[in-house]
Amino acid sequence: MKILTGREEFTQNGKSTGYTVSDFWSWGYSELLNNTLRGVLAEFLVYASLNHPREGEMRDNWQSYDVMSPTGRRIEVKSAAYLQIWTDEDHYSQMIFDIAPKLPWGREHGMGSVKNRNCDLYVFCVYTALSREQSILDLDLWGFYVLATFVLDREIPKQKSISLSSLLRFHPVKTNFSKLGETIESIEL
């Protein structure tokens, strides 16, 4: 599959309808605070911090991890936000991340048979805005916490979720976007 630019047109009977892939993206994917899209956005931020994007490369939904670093580190990306699309601004969510061991999946081998954490490290991405007037595209409003998977495997091997306050007990490396790629590559595995 080739990567789309957004300029591609929908056609009918071989003629342009006047609608583009960019129109579809704007209609379907502009609400980046939505949990599902925020998660994909967080994956993109991690990917971009590693001096990607590379031309022609796109997200692969069918890996057992979210992003691979240029040095081959398998990264699981988790995101959380104080604001949720379905709540009022005066109600803030608790930061909780899914860290449950899962069955691995790969295009070549299909579903694995043993649940584990299928990554070398986690990046926990926290969108810290407390007002909808703040932009999710403002990277100063994001915090990133990087932790080697072996720490979770050693300390809480069967635990399925973790709050931000509990995560902090394991001393993840906190960083900003500009230092995230460097931090990911420097974590001891």
Q: Report pLDDT digits (tens) over 114-168.
A: 889 999 999 999 999 999 899 999 999 999 999 999 999 999 999 999 999 999 9
- Average pLDDT over every residue of 29-51: 92
Number of domains in the chain: 2
In this structure, the answer to whether residues 19 and 43 fall within a common structural domain is no
Residues 6+ apart with CB under 8 A from 182: none
The pLDDT-based confidence of 52 (bands split at 50, 70, 90) is low
Q: Are residues 74 and 121 in the same domain?
A: yes
Structural domain including 1 reads 1-30
Average pLDDT for 10-25: 95
Pair (35, 97) in one structural domain: yes
The least confident of 41-55, 101-115, 137-151 is: 101-115
- Same domain flag for 35 and 23: no
Query: Tell me, what's the pLDDT at 53?
Result: 62
Please tell me the predicted confidence (pLDDT) of residue 89. 66
Reference 146, options 170, 127, 129, 128; nearest CA is 170
What pLDDT, on a 0 to 100 scale, did the predictor assign at position 10? 95
Give yes or no: residues 21 and 72 share one domain.
no
Task: Please indicate, yes or no, whether residues 70 and 163 belong to a single structural domain of this protein.
Answer: yes
Residues 116 and 39 in one domain: yes
Are 21 and 37 in a shared domain? no
Q: Are both 25 and 43 inside the same structural domain?
A: no
Residues 13, 95, single domain; the answer is: no
14 and 37 inside one domain: no
Question: Does the structure show a pLDDT above 90 at 13?
Answer: yes
Same domain, 177 and 125: yes
